[in-house]
Structure 1
Amino acid sequence: MKEPAIVTTPLGTKIRDLRKEKGFTLDKLAELTDSSKSYIWELENKNPPRPSADKVARIATALGVTSDYLVDVNASVTVEDAADQAFYRKYRDMDTSTKSKIRKMVDLLGEDE
């Protein structure tokens, strides 16, 4: 019996590349996103029905990017831009004191240039 062909999608390729870049196993990403290992594997290696927006959002958060980046088939958003957007979304929800500390850290890091 012939095994089914693996047909990756832009979404699957991005998830796999980012997962490996972060050093996550399939099990780890599944755990972080309340998914099963087999579901993550299918997203990476097959062309399953469209995943829910909630699942894409959970995967994006775990991988430190935006949902837009994962689903963008035209690659108009870079990984760096998506990571910056994801960081800014977290930053917006932080309390004033934490934001102040982060701004000071950025100022200090910028002094080295």
Structure 2
Amino acid sequence: MGMNDYEYEALVKLLDKLLHSMPQSPDEQFVVVSQVLVSDINIGYEDIVNTQVFALNGKPVTNIRRLAEMVENCDDEFVKLDLEYEQIAVLRTKAAKAATPDILATHCIPSAMSADLKALRPWT
């Protein structure tokens, strides 16, 4: 399966940022949506690939740990992700969290987050 023009352009832009952008703080990371795992809750967003995440519900996403913390602590009705290319993704928070185990099982993914994030969960 080859990349379409959008996927190729997104990947080139991401690599350019990684090579040439200076971090604003020591713990800053690029956080990207690399692929959307298709589910009833995210229909319409499946074409988003290699796209940087800037904010969640208006709060800046500075690294993957911060994003995990914000998602876990989110009790707003909606989760709104501000992405590059002026894209916005909005999901119902409870539905998204409830669907996560089924999405992981469908795609044979053992955990919603890596071991290093689980080990650093001061927010739980």
Greater helix proportion: 1
State the TM-score, normalizing by the size of structure 1: 0.30
Task: Indicate the structure (1 or 2) with the bigger Cα radius of gyration.
Answer: 1
Greater strand proportion: 2
The one of the two structures with greater contact order (alpha-carbon pairs below 8 A, sep at least 6) is 1
State the TM-score, normalizing by the size of structure 2: 0.28
